[in-house]
Amino acid sequence: HGTAIITAAGLINAFHLTGRDMKSVKIVGNGAGAASIACVELLKVMGVPANNIIICDRAGPIYKGREGSMNQWKSAHAADTDARSLEEALVGADVFLGLSSGGALTKSMVEKMAPRPIIFAMANPVPEIWPAEAKEVRPDAIIATGRSDFPNQVNNVLGFPYIFRGALDVRASKITENMKIAAANALAMLAREDVPDAVADAYGGQSLAYGENYIIPTPFDPRLIVAVSSAVAEAAMNDGVARRPIDDLDEYRRSLSARLDPTAGALQSIFERVSAHKKRIVFAEGEEERVIRAALAFRNAGYGYPILLGREHRVKETIQRLGLDGAEDLPITNAKASEHLTEYTDLLYSKLQRRGSLYRDCQRMVNLDRNVFAACMVSCGHADALVTGVTRAFQPSLEHIRRVIDVAEGSKFMTTSMIISRGRTVFIGDVAVTERPDAEEMADIAIAMAAKARQMGHTPRVAILSFTNFGNPESRTSVEARRAVEILQSRDVGFEFDGEMTGDIALDYDLMKSRYPFCNLTGPANILVMPGLHSANISFKLVHQLGNVSVVGPIMIGGAHPFQIVQMGASVSDIVQTAVLAAHDAIR
């Protein structure tokens, strides 16, 4: 049944790509074992007419009235056909399903098939025909095999773990046909979605996109557990075989995602809030491939309304080249198409006229600088937040945005990063803005990070870090950290804090209490205020590269309007997460 489900998923997409209707296709299967019979039975339930499928075994087609080499399972699928050989059965056939032996399908047989034939040669290790041989005579063929070294591998691992996951989670009393069909449809639809960067990396950076060479998802796709398991669970409930129905399927999908991705679990409440209060997010580098994919994923996930900033023809060319299904209607804007150029220029001039800029300088910036234009959109209420950083380093991006977006009243620009590991979330900062914070700035950073952590659902416990612990050893470099603690003590901050202390003491509560029982923290610190930009930035990047952890950020804090800046090497999922964080800021 596993082979049947994966085969059905591949055929759904092959029919979609070739414009075929399941109710009119002609299918020839070679092999009459359990896997072949399971495939045929499932395809018939899905709508293929019984007489449109011919099964062949060693004796040839299984036709009505055949007496030799028959059993009850073969008899149930005997076809009304005059064909008496595999070659005759394949004349005009749309699909070949091979579950037999290597070399069973010849090039002359393939030549006789219908235009754009679909060939599933699933014998292992030698397929019924090698893909290259089939392509020699029918370059228009869509081909799948059971091998991992060719495109479109029919692999049971795509189905079984996740089918059972969904069935077990609802305590299904049996696996129904509709549960199998739901799994097949979920796999087929997943193949049509944009493929995560992590999956492409697992295949050596190979470009994977829905098409003739990608009709079945790869086994490395982390979305399989969510897509297949939830579809199976829902089908079980609809069929009345679920003994423990799930009340909230969206919550169930989020919990499935969190099992493999700790970041998803840590940000779950944020995802939920953003989905419930959809905001307009302008993606400032809208011509970039990763950005377009991220904008599509952001919209498809229901997080909000993306706006791509870029030249329309360039954006559409990239969408067409990537074959991104559903991306054609993503909103696109640019300076040339905007009705608000004068408004944006006036805004920028009001901010820069006493800082050495003429009106025409501001016009030029609005027309040519995507970050300035995007920041004007947000400031003037034409978007709720912006995301940038894919093509420019953090500091230049921030400098251009700051020409338009001021610091929030009573705040300062600063950044934090979330480190998520083994069920723990720790915020560190400032990782990108304040190079050498003095005591006042450390206290400000602590207050801002505590507010951000609380906004994201965490109870802040702040440690002011140094290489010393409470004056041991004595060092003039730790004086600022101690003064920062004194400043926090003089303010009514409303959260736990202490310092100066080393990173191991801050994070190991047992060690902290055994050595420094007077420390004010009632648990391990989850906010680490670093003594300088160098230590903060180096730390979070080293952890990201070397540790078995997830890192979110840098997260921008302190703007009068919401914006976030990703790192230049950000993946599609990184950009989506950052857009969600920007949208979350816009809700407040």
Q: Which CATH number goes with the domain that contains 464?
A: 3.40.50.10750
| 498 and 423 housed in the same domain | yes
Residues 379 and 425 both lie in one domain? no
| Residue found under tokens 């996930």 | 301
Q: Which of 149, 180, 205 is the last residue of a domain?
A: 149
Interatomic CA distance for residues 528 and 446, integer angstroms: 8
Question: Domain check: are 392 and 433 in the same one?
Answer: no
Q: Which residue is listed with tokens 């002011």? A: 464
User: Same domain, yes or no, for 527 and 433?
Assistant: yes
Write down the residue that tokens 């085969």 correspond to.
Answer: 7
Coil vs helix vs strand at 562: coil
Let me know whether 145 and 1 are in one domain.
yes
Residues 228 and 273 in one domain: no
Residue 196 and residue 245 in contact, taking contact as beta carbons nearer than 8 Å: no
Query: Which residues are CB-contacts of 571 (< 8 A; sequence separation ≥ 6)?
Result: 196, 197, 198, 290
| Structure-block tokens of residue 177 | 């046909």
The packing angle between helices 177-192 and 34-45, to 10°, is 80
540 and 417 in contact (C-beta within 8 Å)? yes
333 closest CA partner among 383, 393, 394, 299: 383
Residue from 462, 430, 467 nearest 445 by CA: 430
CA-CA distance, 295 to 302, in Å (whole number)? 11
Give me the residue label for tokens 């399927």: 249
The number of folded domains in the chain is 4
Task: Look at residue 80 and give its three-state secondary structure.
Answer: coil
Rounded Cα gap, residues 238 and 344, in angstroms: 53
Tokens of residue 570, six digits: 């950000």
How high is the pLDDT of residue 7? 94
Measure the CA–CA gap between 19 and 569, rounded to whole angstroms.
39
First to last CA, the chain: 50
CA distances from 379 to 356, 374, 560 (A): 21, 9, 9
Q: What is the predicted pLDDT for the residue at 508?
A: 92
Q: How far is C-alpha 430 from the geometric centre of its chain's CA atoms?
A: 27
Question: Is 470 in the same domain as 337?
Answer: no
Same domain? For 3 and 145 the reply is yes
Short-list 144, 46, 25, 5, CA closest to 93: 25
Cβ(327)–Cβ(319) below 8 Å: yes
Do residues 562 and 184 make contact, with C-beta atoms less than 8 angstroms apart? no
Q: What is the pLDDT of residue 136?
A: 94
For Cα atoms 187, 105, 9, give the angle at the middle one, nearest 5 degrees. Answer: 10
For 335-377, the DSSP string reads TTT-S-HHHHHHHHHHHHTTTT--HHHHHHHHHH-HHHHHHHH
What is the rounded CA–CA span in Å between residue 297 and residue 123?
Answer: 36
Residue type present at position 186: A
Secondary structure, 3-state, 524-561: CCCEEECCCHHHHHHHHHHHHHHCCCEEEEEEEECECC
Query: How many Å apart are CA 314 and CA 316, to the nearest integer?
Result: 6
In the sheet that holds 385-388, the strands lie side by side as: 332-333, 304-309, 279-283, 385-388, 563-565
Tokens for 332? 């696109």
Q: What is the largest CA-CA distance in the chain?
A: 98
Positions of E strands within 169-310: 279-283, 304-309
Q: Scanning the structure block, which residue is given the tokens 């009068």?
A: 560
Interatomic CA distance for residues 241 and 335, integer angstroms: 57
Please list the pLDDT of the chain residue by residue as tens digits (588 residues).
788 999 999 999 999 999 999 999 999 999 888 888 999 999 999 999 988 999 999 889 998 888 888 888 888 888 888 889 999 999 999 999 999 889 999 999 999 999 999 999 998 889 999 999 999 999 999 999 988 888 898 988 888 788 999 999 999 999 999 999 999 999 999 998 888 776 776 666 667 888 899 999 888 788 888 999 999 999 999 999 999 999 989 888 877 876 766 555 557 778 888 888 999 999 999 999 999 999 999 998 889 999 999 999 999 999 888 888 788 889 999 988 899 999 999 999 999 999 999 999 999 999 999 999 999 999 999 999 999 999 999 999 999 999 999 999 888 899 998 888 777 889 998 888 888 899 999 999 999 999 888 888 788 999 999 998 988 877 777 888 899 999 999 998 989 999 889 999 999 999 999 999 999 999 999 999 998 888 888 887 888 777 667 788 889 999 999 999 998 888 888 899 899 999 999 987
Q: Whole-prediction pTM value?
A: 0.69
Same domain, 138 and 12: yes
Pick left, alpha or beta for residue 135 (phi over 0 → left; psi -120 to 50 → alpha; otherwise beta): alpha
The phi and psi torsions of 488 (rounded to 5 degrees) equal -60, -35
Angle at 75 between CA 72 and CA 80, to 5 degrees: 175
What does DSSP say about strands 60-61 and 53-57: parallel, antiparallel, or unpaired? antiparallel
Helices then strands, counting H and E runs in the chain, come out as 25, 17
Residues 397 and 424 in one domain: no
CATH number (domain holding residue 11): 3.40.50.720
Q: HEC profile for 171-201?
A: CECCCCHHHHHHHHHHHHHHHHCCCCHHHHH
Q: In the listed set 149, 182, 197, which residue is the last one of a domain according to the structure?
A: 149
CATH code of the domain containing 350: 3.40.50.10950
Residues forming beta bridges with residue 284, ordered by sequence position: none
pLDDT value for 203? 65
Q: What does the alpha-carbon distance between residue 451 and residue 427 come to, in Å, rounded to a whole number?
A: 11
Same domain, 126 and 191: no
Identify the domain containing residue 231 by its residue range. Answer: 155-260
What span, in angstroms and rounded, lies between the C-alpha atoms of 153 and 103? 18
* Nearest residue to 338 via CA among 360, 370, 314, 315: 370
Q: Are residues 222 and 287 in the same domain?
A: no
